[in-house]
Amino acid sequence: MPATLADCLGREKNDLAAVRLLAATAVLYAHAWIITTPGTKTASFFHIFGFSPDFHGVHAFFILSGMLLTRSLMLRPDALRFIVARLVRYVPPIVVAALFAAIVVGPLVTTLPLQDYLGARPLRFVLAVSTLYDVNATLPGAFMQGAEPGILFVPLWTVHYELVFSLVLVIAWALGLMRRRRLALAALALTMAVNLAWFWNGESYAYLGSPHHLVRFTTAFGIGALLALYAERVPVSSRILLVIAALAAPLAYSHVAALAGMILMAYAILCVGFLGGRLTAALARLGTWSYGFYVWGYMIEQTLAYAAPGWSAPQVFLAAFPLALSAGALSWIYLERPGGARVDALTAAIRRRLSILRQGPREASVPLGRD
């Protein structure tokens, strides 16, 4: 009998981080073409199951997040700690990358005199990017001649959805909705129905913007969440993966292509993460650095394209990969891992502060004793 997903998630180690690295690499490769080749969009790339490989990579992120974040709440249903952990995980690497762009990269590449560059208040860029208010914000006079003028952090637009889904998940958990598995299953079924009825042809509907992204990301995140909720009933088997692949393959360019692709990817993620060998284990070690890789990758490629305007997309990608991986490693070592280690302490400090604020009015209302 194959092991269940619950058994696999209960193990101390897995190779799920390998999926993150592969997904981030697909995004980095696609962006190399967008940065170096004017007029190139993801719609120009090879498509299967309704989307280009980089979009499938983004869907993989959301499937993993849905599964692992739901699992985290199941094991430790602490809403405040969950929120603190998400903010500590997502925000500091973005702040540091945006500061580096404004303080180091901007002055080196801007067409403005340094005094004018500083006078244009580049720290506004840091604030806009760090708060995710405008991930397409530009630095004064920087990178204005490329195929994608001025943009340095466009991949961060997906982090908006990650944070929204995290918040919705913890609210649903606090209300007890996630513990009603049939309700969660019905919600996913409804989302899938909308996906099939409205967005069946994948990226062909990308022009609709936020509604399109919301439906497909909700579908991916929801699949991951349901995998966690029903983990004890989900077998993890390479044979089952072959069956799912055989059933999905004829649907790759059908009206159900996008949904079939997500289901196939979700199960493939389980097999890569829990049934992999030495290769996936090696990729997983590198995949620990995938978030910083994702945050820094586009800025690194933009800088390389500026420094070597004659380079092709593959050349930019090959040069950017080790640099983005190094940035990811530094982000993990100096920001993400230390931040994760402080989540419990930060949560306790916030609880103490909230407790003091709640007790203050009551203590103030107690009459003072007489001397």
Encode the chain (371 residues) as per-residue pLDDT tens digits.
Answer: 789 999 999 998 999 999 999 999 999 999 999 999 887 777 678 889 988 999 999 999 999 999 999 999 999 999 999 999 999 999 999 999 999 999 999 999 999 999 999 998 889 999 999 999 999 999 999 998 877 888 999 999 999 999 999 999 999 998 988 888 999 899 899 988 887 877 656 666 666 677 888 888 999 999 999 999 999 999 999 999 999 999 999 999 988 888 999 999 999 999 999 998 899 999 999 999 999 999 999 999 999 999 999 999 999 999 999 999 999 999 999 999 999 999 999 999 999 998 888 886 555 444 444 33
Classify residue 149 as exposed, middle or buried by CB count within 10 Å of its CB (0-12, 13-18, 19+): exposed
Residue 42 DSSP code: G
What is the distance between the alpha carbons of residues 303 and 25, in angstroms, rounded to a whole number?
A: 18
Instruction: Look at residue 265 and tell me if it is in a domain.
Output: yes
Instruction: Look at residue 110 and tell me if it is in a domain.
Output: yes
Predicted local distance difference test score (pLDDT) of residue 4: 96
Instruction: Look at residue 223 and tell me if it is in a domain.
Output: yes
**Integer-rounded Cα radius of gyration of the chain:** 23
Q: Which residues neighbour 146 within 8 Å (Cβ) at sequence distance 6 or greater?
A: 35, 302, 305, 306
Instruction: Look at residue 371 and tell me if it is in a domain.
Output: no
What is the distance between the alpha carbons of residues 229 and 185, in angstroms, rounded to a whole number?
A: 9
Q: Within 210-289, where are the H helices?
A: 210-229, 238-248, 257-275, 278-287
Instruction: Look at residue 366 and tell me if it is in a domain.
Output: no
Predicted local distance difference test score (pLDDT) of residue 370: 39
What is the distance between the alpha carbons of residues 53 and 34, in angstroms, rounded to a whole number?
A: 14
Q: Which domain holds residue 25?
A: 5-358
Predicted local distance difference test score (pLDDT) of residue 108: 93
**Residues shown for the chain:** 371
Contact 335, 96 (CB under 8 A): yes
What is the distance between the alpha carbons of residues 50 and 253, in angstroms, rounded to a whole number?
A: 7
| Residue carrying the six token digits 């945050």 | 295
Q: What are phi and psi of 161, to 5 degrees?
A: -70, -35
Classify residue 320 as exposed, middle or buried by CB count within 10 Å of its CB (0-12, 13-18, 19+): buried
| Structural domains of the chain, count | 1
3-state secondary structure of 235: strand
The closest alpha carbon to 330, from 280, 296, 300, belongs to: 296
Instruction: Look at residue 207 and tell me if it is in a domain.
Output: yes
Predicted local distance difference test score (pLDDT) of residue 256: 87
Predicted local distance difference test score (pLDDT) of residue 28: 97
Beta bridge partners of 235: 4
3-state secondary structure 291-306: HHHHHHHHHHHHHHHH
